[in-house]
Amino acid sequence: MDRRQFLALGATAGIGGLAGCTLSNAVESQTNNGPTVALEPVAEGITSPLAEGEPGYPVGMTFLPDGSRLVIGRTGWVRRHTADGFDDGLVLNLADELPPIKGERGLLGIALHPEFESNNRFYLRYSSPAVEPDESHRAVLAEFRTTTDFTGVVPGSEREILSISQPGPVHNAGSLAFDGDGNLFVGLGDGQRTDLGEDNGLWWYQQGGAAQNLTDNLRGGILRIDVDTPEGDRAYSVPSDNPLVGEEGRDEYYAWGLRNPYRISVDRGQLYIGDVGEFIREAVYLGESGANYGWPMIEGSSCGASTSVGHSISDNPLNILNPKTWVAQTNRVSPTKVCPETEAAKGEIVQPVVEYNRPGSRFVTGGYVYRGDELPSLSGRYLFGDGIPPAPLFALNEPESDSRPWPVDELDIAGSSSGRLNEQILSFARDPEGEMYLLSTAVSGGNIRQITAAE
């Protein structure tokens, strides 16, 4: 595929209410060729410390006050990494608390408390076993406290903050990020779409799909909670300026209408969301209070698929988010477009700042705004990628006006014949100096690399 034809960008910023709406397909556009970057090794060939020969699958990394790092692996390990490499011991082993690792279940996200330097508190998002017969598992948010030397966790310090029922093993998201006021953003997928059936895929507004049902669940959106102030029987409280406080719907929601916000980040008060699509679009959104991103009514800026699609299961060792990859059959029913006329949706539908087609299997991996010194040409630009190899890296340019889409460059990776990474991009990280890191996996193991200037 021609790199310059990879993106298909939306044309407008907002759609307004959905009553009587008509939505057109996203407008095809071309990417620009961006600067060349290098990937400097930080840790390579990472294997699991829990099972010999098992890949490490690093899915998150955060930076400690002493310059070391906490790295998490999807299979349940938390390790400290220093200039001398990984410590021999584990900071934490959650393997016994996880259900079988299939679909997208596992240890998925990490964030340090804004005052970690004084309180040593950090937060993990992981999957725990089902407690009800009709559940796949529970999505858990928990607080822990490290020892003063950061090499372990204080015994008994785990505090469960959220435990949310999940109907299926996929669409788990898992990313965490604190805002400037010390409140925690929690990304939650819709828990697996179940609305494509005999009723031509319109079940979501007849019965209420998770991402548009704001009263009966906490899935399919971004939550914003205060983890420092328990209230009543909850281990958290809700900020008074959350958009649904005093209105119908769960007060925890900050924004909704998302399918699988796999990676989120905050930069200077602005929330960025990478939302994995289904059949049509991968998208990056600006997080806005009270925003509805439209899923499952629309996917990116395109109306969602209304017809059932045949699938088969294919083993793909590189697809770590879902090792048994659902692959669309060649004789599948082509997705059609549905623009339902309904007033069920709450809030203005907000379109992405960038989106691209997803031929075959792809998944957007949200990143961070680059604030470092190594790459002056990328200063202030949001960097993100796609998880399926050969995996591209992108940089957005915020336009002078409020128009959408934003200009986007595809970065060229030095040393790669395609200009892309022949590994699966799992996550990004940003250090206190604003430099960025890429976490990926290959058959040989996981890798952590810093994004630097090419010679």
Backbone angles phi, psi at 273, to 5 degrees: -130, 125
The residue-averaged pLDDT of 339-354 equals 73
pLDDT at 201: 45
What's the domain count of the chain? 1
Q: Which residues contact 272 (CB under 8 A, 6 or more apart)?
A: 264, 265, 266, 284, 285, 286, 287, 366, 367, 368, 369, 382
Compare 32 and 64 and report the one with higher pLDDT: 64
Quote the tokens at residue 186.
Answer: 């929690």
CATH of the domain at 374: 2.120.10.30
State how beta strands 159-166 and 137-145 pair: antiparallel
Q: How far apart are the first and last CA of the chain?
A: 27
DSSP 395: E
Compare 423 and 18 and report the one with higher pLDDT: 423
DSSP 6: -
The model's confidence at residue 362, banded by pLDDT at 50, 70 and 90, is confident
Q: What is the reported pTM? A: 0.88
pLDDT at 247: 94
pLDDT at 134: 85
DSSP 212: G
The helix, strand and coil proportions of the chain, stated in percent and rounded to the nearest 5, come to 5, 40, 55
The model's confidence at residue 11, banded by pLDDT at 50, 70 and 90, is very low
pLDDT greater than 80 at residue 199: no
Percent of the chain's residues with pLDDT above 90: 64
Contact 201, 224 (CB under 8 A): no
Segment among 257-266, 305-314, 360-369, 379-388 with least mean pLDDT = 305-314
The model's confidence at residue 20, banded by pLDDT at 50, 70 and 90, is very low
- Residue 350 domain boundaries: 3-453
pLDDT at 301: 81
pLDDT at 28: 37
pLDDT at 194: 53
Q: How far apart are CA 261 and CA 287, in angstroms?
A: 11
The model's confidence at residue 58, banded by pLDDT at 50, 70 and 90, is very high
The residue-averaged pLDDT of 298-321 equals 48
